[in-house]
Amino acid sequence: MNNTAHLDLDLLQGYIDNLGKAVVEQMLQLYISQSAIYIDDIRGNVSEEKQKLWQESCHKMKGAAGSVGLLLVHKKLVAIEKIVESESVKQEHIIELDELNTQANTEFSEWLSKAY
Which domains does the chain possess?
9-114 (1.20.120.160)
User: Residue 2 above 60 pLDDT?
Assistant: no
What confidence score (pLDDT) does residue 31 get? 97
pLDDT-based confidence at 3, cuts 50/70/90? low
SS3 string of 20-64? CHHHHHHHHHHHHHHHHHHHHHHHCCCCHHHHHHHHHHHHHHHHH
Mean of pLDDT values over 13-40: 96
CA–CA distance, 80 with 70 (Å, rounded to integer): 16
CA–CA distance, 59 with 78 (Å, rounded to integer): 8
CA–CA distance, 82 with 52 (Å, rounded to integer): 9
CA–CA distance, 35 with 102 (Å, rounded to integer): 10
CA–CA distance, 91 with 109 (Å, rounded to integer): 27
Looking at residue 10, its amino acid is: D
* Per-residue pLDDT tens digits for 31-90: 999 999 999 999 999 998 999 999 999 999 999 999 999 999 999 999 999 999 999 999
pLDDT-based confidence at 1, cuts 50/70/90? very low
Q: Give pTM, 2 decimals.
A: 0.91
